[in-house]
Amino acid sequence: MIYARASLIVAVLLVGFGSVNMAGAAGPWSYLRQLPAADSGVKIALPSALSIDHSSNRYYVVDAAQGQLVSFDAEGKFLAAFNAGGELKAPLSLARTSSGILWVVNRGSNELLYINPRQQQVQRYQPSYPDGKGMTPAKVAVDDKDRLFVLDQRRGAILQLDDRLQVVQTYSGEKDFSGFVDFKLKGRELYALDGLGRKVYQFSDSGTLLKVVALAGLQFPVALEVDSAGQFYLLDRHAGTVEVFGPEGDKRFNFLGKGKRHGQLWYAKDLLFDWEQRLCIVDEGNARVDVLTR
C-alpha cells in the first residue's frame, strides 16, 4: 500500500517543564526542553509512545488520537508527520530497524504494521501463537540485531518473533506473575516490568530468568527504564512520579509529581533514554514529552 510523503520519518515528542520543581528533591535531573515546543504550532493530541533513532539523533512520537507519527531532530525542531496513507488506526508503539523499516502496533485493527519507506509499502500482520491463538500486541521493539520483540497484552508475555513472525522465544513470569506491562532491551539482556506485582524481571539473551527484583512503595507503575549503572527507573502513572531503585531494589530517590503544570505529570505512559542518556517521559495527559538532562 502506497502512502504519501514516504521520505518523512516518524518522530517523537519531548516536552518539559519550564522551571523544574523536583518532588522528592534527591534527583540529579533538570528540565531541558519540551516537544513539541509551546510556540511551534505543532500539536500532539494523545502521545502513546516514544522511539529514538540513535544513529541519526532523532525523536519519534506516536500520536494515537490523530493516527500519526511525528518526528523531531536533535534540537527538538519539528521535521515531519505522516499517517502511512491512512493505515494508522490508534497506533500504540513504534520500533525502527537499522535499515529504516518501521514496525507499528496498530490497536485499531489489532495488527502489526510493517512500513517500508523506501518501497512506499505497508504490510499488515496478525501474529499468533503456535497453537493458533491470536495476540493483542501492546508494545514492539527491536534489538541491535534487528530482532523483533512484541508484548502481548492478552497473556502479559513478551515474545521474540522471527522473520516469518513465528514465536521463537517467550519471556514470562513466575507463579504469582501478573503480566508484563513494559520491557526494555539492554545489550544481551531483557528487562520486563510486572506492574501489578511490582517486580522487575531480568532475562538473558537466551530467555533464561536471571533475577527478579521486588520494588516497594509504588502505586501503579506502567513503564521501566534501566540506566548504565543498572538502576531501575519506574514511571508511577497514578502518583505522577519517577521512582528510582538500585539493582537490588533499594529505593534511591524520586522526582516530579502529579499535575498539569510544568514539572508535573498527568497520567504519563512511557520512559526512554536518548542517545545522550537524557530521560524522556511521554506525558499522555499533558499531551507532551518531557526531556530531562543530568
Structure confidence by residue, pLDDT tens digits, 189-215 = 999 999 999 999 999 988 999 999 999
Look at the chain and report how many structural domains it folds into: 1
151 assigned to some structural domain = yes
Give the span between the Cα atoms of 83 and 79, in whole angstroms: 14
3-state DSSP assignment of residue 85? helix
Whether residue 232 is predicted with pLDDT greater than 70 in this model: the reply is yes
State the DSSP string of 139-207: EEEE-TT--EEEEETTTTEEEEE-TT--EEEEE---TT---EEEEEEETTEEEEEETTTTEEEEEETTS
Strand 221-226 and strand 209-214: the pairing is: unpaired
Q: Which among 275, 218, 235 is positioned nearest to 51, based on CA atoms?
A: 275
Check if the beta carbon of residue 106 is closer than 8 Å to that of residue 112: yes
| Residues spanned by the domain of 74 | 30-293
Give the chain's mean pLDDT.
Answer: 90
Q: Please give the model's pTM, rounded to 2 decimal places.
A: 0.90
Cα-based distances in Å from 260 to 85, 151, 166, 290: 34, 30, 43, 12
Give the span between the Cα atoms of 80 and 39, in whole angstroms: 16
pLDDT reported for residue 116: 93
pLDDT reported for residue 28: 85
Q: How confident is the model at residue 73 (pLDDT cuts 50, 70, 90)?
A: very high
CATH number at residue 281: 2.120.10.30
Question: Which pLDDT tens digit goes with each residue over 124-141?
Answer: 999 999 999 999 999 999
260 assigned to some structural domain = yes
82 assigned to some structural domain = yes
Question: Which pLDDT tens digit goes with each residue over 245-287?
Answer: 999 999 999 999 999 988 899 999 999 999 999 999 999 999 9
12 assigned to some structural domain = no
181 assigned to some structural domain = yes
